[in-house]
Structure 1
């Protein structure tokens, strides 16, 4: 088991892609800290699924856009579970509208969670990895951060910023035994896509060479590889998991 005995923090880990990642890392032997923002029941359900695999799991409520909450969460995780050696920055929100109609509030809200919040969680966790001489940081970005999307300029800016952060941070941490990578999902079957009109989803399928939406478990499999010792020579990379919709 690649991650036996290591502790992984998955932000936004109570449902969808985050839950799938938590379960996949548990299968790899990791204990799991699940961050959530608003649904304690879903977070505890995810923890129970992890425990059923024989791994430790605890849920921690935190708005990652709030620096004091971030600091308190990481301190509590260290006290209750130990140092964090695998960090999967998955938490994110959307506030979609065209740029002309976008308010400052909706712009700032998305960037504060999807970019700044993820960066600040990473800043809090990195000392654990430096002390251990080993670590994995994985950002969940998006195909939208690479090719853009109508009505999602705030989301695209945040996700594109994460890609730039991935590459810069990888250069800073490589000699410390820490890799920093990103996974960029395409359109995945989650709560986010469940509210997208059927005609739009059909157009997405037609524009995707494999002809379907992805599954959360397919994103989780990519994360597991990047978190594993087998990916020790991979850093600063963006792994596109999008069915061929965007090729780079």
Structure 2
């Protein structure tokens, strides 16, 4: 298990964390990170088999709930599970998303509808569910929404397409807007902008293209789920108490601007 030595082993003891898109990749590694620091975790994903596999590979207080973030009634079921099984909800990490890389002629209405229902609507209604619960917590809570560096420079249809890039730009707007509305409350919301990351979500990218991408990044490598999980731990920690309504780029320099 990656130790994440910056944080004490009990840094999140007594805290609960809901992570969507947690069956693999960044979501799974984020769960591993929080568990290593004493948290109680709810893994949420539409892949029931993946959730079972993830739970078997983790140790600690782990719950699982199957959810399709693109369906509002499924999101409500996810939060109902949390209400029934957790004392309260302290941190919510919105990792669930679908990444697509279609050229413009191949993007039809159904394609955009599915991408937006998961990446944009799903993110907002997960945030809404988190906010309504955290406002009642004595110590508030933290929300982190995973966006993407393509929110800044576009998709282009090679690694990600227009629909995906637009959904992630919308995610940044959700964070800004919700942050403004929560001003003065004890709930923080921030975004994480990963750059190209070597994770199952990017299995659609040809290995040779991954090598070229890595060679062109200032850090000369693709990101890893561990890089993102470490940043999420920070954003949910007391040390980040003045980080609010913003986006943290963890992208190896891909979004220099």
TM-score > 0.5 by shorter chain: yes
| Cα 1:29–1:173 shift into 2, 3 Å | farther
Matches within 5 A, 1:60-209: 60-133=65-138, 134-151=140-157, 152-209=161-218
Alpha-carbon deviations, 1:62-115, whole Å to 9, x = none?
111111111122011210223211000000002321223210000110010011
Please say if residues 9 and 88 of structure 1, whose CA atoms lie closer than 8 Å, have aligned partners that are also in contact: yes
Structure 2 counterpart of 1:221:
230
Moved over 4 A (4+): none
Larger helix percent: 1
Find the aligned partners of 2:206 and 2:53 in 1 and give their Cα distance: 29
- Structure 1 residues 212 and 138, CA gap change in structure 2 (3 angstroms): same
Q: Supply the distance in 1 between the matched residues of 2:116 and 2:164 (Cα, whole angstroms).
A: 7
Give me the whole-angstrom Cα distance separating, in 1, the residues matched to 2:193 and 2:164.
13
Matches within 5 A, 1:27-46: 27-38=36-47, 40-46=48-54
| Deviation per residue, 1:103-134 (Å, 9 max, x gap) | 00001100100111011111112122100141
| Aligned counterparts of 1:175 and 1:49: Cα–Cα separation in 2 | 40
Gaps of 5+ in 1: none
TM-superposed CA distance for 1:42, in Å, is 2.2
Tell me the residue number matched to 1:18. Answer: 27
CA RMSD of aligned residues (A): 1.4
Separation in structure 2 between the aligned mates of residue 47 and residue 231 of structure 1, nearest angstrom: 29
- After superposition, the Cα gap between the structure-2 partners of 1:63 and 1:8, relative to the gap in structure 1 and judged at 3 Å, is same
CA distance in 2, matches of 1:27, 1:228: 14
SS in 2 for 1:139: strand
Aligned length: 244
Q: TM-score, normalised by structure 2?
A: 0.91
Give the distance between the partners of 1:76 and 1:82, measured in 2 at CA: 11
Which residue of 51, 56, 62 corresponds with 1:48? 56
What TM-score, normalized by structure 1, do the two folds share? 0.94
